[in-house]
Structure 1
Amino acid sequence: MTLLLLDLDGVVRQFGPDAPIEDAHGLPRGTLAQVAFSLATPALLGEVPDESWRAAIRAALATRIGPTAATSAVHAWTRPGRVIPEALPLIREARTRSTVGLLSNATTKSFNDLTLLNLTAEFDAIVLSCELGAIKPTPEAYLKTLDLLGFAPQDTVFCDDNADNAAGARAVGMDGVHTPNPAALRAALRERGLVVD
């Protein structure tokens, strides 16, 4: 039996652009992502809850635009995203031929997001870095996931929109595939016999 592991953001879920939020709050474009990801590691490792991470983002932004605008900007930026519509039929078809799991660098908020987006029942397993205590592309993240799910690397396909994460999977013996868009995901799954069209 094959294990298909999918990344969440960029493969199954997507967010609208940050630019309108930044424009509305007097922030240079790209600021939200830059500040958020520079502070994300403790939350992604599960060392602090998502709320603490967002509080740190607010504090960092407050030095630029003041606390009221910073609170407003982070509130607007805190959204569940939306399911990439082309992904769901692929997941459902692949589940008829393999075990399908989610492997994501994610904070504690992602559990609620997955519920809001009706995604929890779409996977046989959900592995988030905040519970795993390891983040992609470290070998530990992949090896701990395989151990948890009971699969060998050579029996696992991993798809991620981040090329470094796909390379990290290959480094531990998985079939790591860079899938930056739905067409690439469909092609990767078709080539491996996990979907047919």
Structure 2
Amino acid sequence: MLLSLFMTFFKIGAFTFGGGYAMIPIIQREIVENKKLIKDEEFLDAIALAQASPGPVAVNTSIYVGYRINGFLGAIACTLGTVLPSFITILVVAIYFYRFRSLAVIDKIFAGIRPAIVALILAAVYKMWTKTKRTWAILGASLAAVIAVMFLGISPIWVVTSGAVLSVVYHRFFAAPQKEREH
């Protein structure tokens, strides 16, 4: 199982360009849909936890998934599988990139990779959106978070922290008393 987890995340890390957000739909497809190791709801929880934790989202997600499936050793296997391809790639690039950085073909390669990365990130957002309970309040909170980060320059740390605090307050003081009145 540990080798399988390592190889799954190594494959994901090796063939995903664009960082953690681009890896999310691939992790979801492999772990939830193909291997059925965890359920959609739990994967969404993993993404939320990964976002709220310091560090790269793909690494945090792999730690959660690995731990959930096979404890501490599973977390180690998934984490190593996630980071080793990037480490190896960066090492090779650092050694050889300066020799070839002025070649036009390198610019063309990166010009082709960028739109693909944007598409992968948008696909991840769409998949996560379709798996959540969509209400006007959630839509409003999502739009407020986008506006806060993109247009007002508020740090995502503050947006995530505020979302967590507001959710706790809402569920503690508004949602729970309403459920009690309904019963």
TM-score by length of 1: 0.27
* Larger radius of gyration between Structure 1 and Structure 2: 2
Structure number having the greater strand percentage:
1
TM-score by length of 2: 0.29
